[in-house]
A = this chain, B = another copy of it.
Amino acid sequence: MGEKADSELVRRQNRRIVLDALRQRGNLARVELGRATGLSPASITAISAQLIEDKIIEEVDEPMGSALTGKRGRPIVRLSLRAEATHVAVVKISIDAVSMMLADFQGRVTAERAFRIPTYGSEQATFGETLAATLASFIEEHRGKSGVARVGIAVQGLADSRSGSINWSPVFRARHVPIAPAIEKRLQVPVMVVNDANMIAEGLLSMDRESYGGNTAVVFLGYGVGMGLILNGAVYHGATGAASEFGHMNHLPDGALCRCGRKGCLEAYAADYAILRTAYGTPQDEPRMSAVDPAQMIELMNKAKAGDTVALNAYEAAGTALGFGIARTIALLNPDRIILAGPGTRALELIEPAMHRAIKDGVVDEISRHVTIEHVSFDKDMIARGTIDALLRGLVRDVFSQGPSRASATHMEFAK
């Protein structure tokens, strides 16, 4: 429990605090850093000198908007993360489409591209190699020899952080598709394979730790149903990286058929495809795998809003399943916040009444009364944002906080 402390740990921790402050609050002058971190000016001078020496941060001259007007005294010199200090790569895998992007140390996207790479029908044995080759040339093209220090792969479904593979995902027909090993071998860089909803949670966390930093469940509604859990202020990945499969948490034993092949998953009631299935009276044991056209969902929504009973009932069924799922989550985890997000929330007003009823029926008042349930909308690149932030945070923790002696941006380990 806890690790031996010595002066090395002190410096490491303080370097990390300084870098995190810059990452979270943007460029700060030394005085401001002192106030933000609680460190004395003398220490800030020493630490920042070292970080500048290590080319991790740099002084920045703010030419115009300095707002130095009227202020007496020696002007501040802001410090900023040196964008070029490192780069990371993010790969988002969707059905037969892969998007890749690079980001610098400031978290800014420096390159982005979409690839058509077959996933669903791909061979378990070759996909990783194909992806690695594509990624390698994408990185080579934009970064040349410099490469990247970390790679994050976000995908819907069951990520396995230990083996770096995707154990099950709607994106692949195959199970246990290995991803990380091929890339790690080729790029000699740590690769993390993660669930996309967890990265959305990371993104929200990076935007507003104040609000989401306690115990928050982020529910993502769309073609599937996902969840990212923030427990005690950090995104929770579970033992193997497979948490939190909210969408495949059972709603009704022996219930409607889900894409995963099991019956009664929450997703089989509340995902887009499930709502459509209910609305069109398709038998609930009929697989509904084909992609859903967003226009179709909007049409259904409008029908419901116009009073179409069948459509309304479909949303109600979704709301009930969602509500019981949330109720179960609340009973188990006693969170302080539930966030609803994703395209599925466009019909939130149709879902909400049944959802709230189910929550009321499904969990003791004494727990649920402390939970805030709210809706947040964000742009679709929240996954990328969260992944970039998680990668950079790890890099700061494992590499840049280390003293100059140990810094090595391409080391192959993820410290826990």
> Interface of A with B (CB < 8 Å)?
1-7, 9-11, 13-14, 16-17, 20, 37-39, 158, 167-168, 175-176, 209, 214-215, 227, 229, 231-232, 236-246, 248-250, 252-254, 260, 262-264, 320, 324, 327-329, 331-336, 358, 361-364, 366-367, 370-371
B328 adjacent to A367 (CB under 8 Å): no
B324 adjacent to A243 (CB under 8 Å): no
Q: Bound state CA distance, A35 and B334, in angstroms?
A: 40
A332 adjacent to B243 (CB under 8 Å): yes
When C-beta atoms are compared, the residue in chain B nearest to A4 turns out to be B38
Q: How many Å from the CB of A160 to the closest CB on chain B?
A: 8
Out of B16, B39, B254, B328, which one reaches A250, CB within 8 Å?
B328
Q: Known contacts A2-B17, A361-B253; is A334 also within 8 Å of B10 by CB?
A: no
A13 adjacent to B20 (CB under 8 Å): no
Q: Bound state CA distance, A286 and B367, in angstroms?
A: 24
Q: How many Å from the CB of A37 to the closest CB on chain B?
A: 6
When C-beta atoms are compared, the residue in chain B nearest to A328 turns out to be B249
Q: How many Å from the CB of A13 to the closest CB on chain B?
A: 4
Q: Known contacts A5-B10, A16-B2; is A366 also within 8 Å of B244 by CB?
A: no
Q: Known contacts A5-B13, A9-B10, A20-B1; is A248 also within 8 Å of B364 by CB?
A: yes
Contact partners of A167 in chain B: CB under 8 A: 366-367
Q: How many Å from the CB of A147 to the closest CB on chain B?
A: 28
B7 adjacent to A331 (CB under 8 Å): no
Q: Bound state CA distance, A17 and B16, in angstroms?
A: 22
Q: Bound state CA distance, A10 and B11, in angstroms?
A: 11
Between A9, A254, A263, A363, the greatest number of chain B beta carbons within 10 A of the residue's beta carbon is seen for A363
B4 adjacent to A39 (CB under 8 Å): yes
Contact partners of A215 in chain B: CB under 8 A: 238-239
A332 adjacent to B332 (CB under 8 Å): yes
Q: Bound state CA distance, A243 and B336, in angstroms?
A: 11
Contact partners of A367 in chain B: CB under 8 A: 158, 167, 240, 242, 245
Besides A5-B9, A239-B335, A240-B370, 9 new A-B residue pairs in contact (Cβ under 8 A), listed by A number: A3-B38, A9-B10, A231-B232, A237-B334, A239-B336, A245-B364, A249-B331, A253-B358, A253-B362
Contact partners of A13 in chain B: CB under 8 A: 2, 4-5
Contact partners of A328 in chain B: CB under 8 A: 249-250, 328, 332
Out of B214, B231, B244, B327, which one reaches A334, CB within 8 Å?
B244
Q: Bound state CA distance, A231 and B229, in angstroms?
A: 12
Contact partners of A241 in chain B: CB under 8 A: 334
Q: Bound state CA distance, A334 and B371, in angstroms?
A: 23
When C-beta atoms are compared, the residue in chain B nearest to A362 turns out to be B250
Q: Can you sample 20 A-B contacts with CB below 8 Å? A: A2-B17, A5-B11, A7-B7, A9-B10, A215-B238, A231-B231, A238-B333, A238-B334, A239-B334, A241-B334, A243-B332, A244-B332, A245-B363, A245-B364, A246-B332, A250-B328, A254-B361, A262-B361, A264-B362, A332-B332
Out of B11, B242, B253, which one reaches A366, CB within 8 Å?
B242
Between A1, A167, A227, the greatest number of chain B beta carbons within 10 A of the residue's beta carbon is seen for A1
B364 adjacent to A262 (CB under 8 Å): yes
Contact partners of A168 in chain B: CB under 8 A: 364, 366
Q: How many Å from the CB of A397 to the closest CB on chain B?
A: 10
Closest 6 CB pairs of A and B: A238-B334, A239-B336, A243-B334, A5-B13, A249-B331, A242-B334
Out of B9, B176, B253, which one reaches A320, CB within 8 Å?
B253
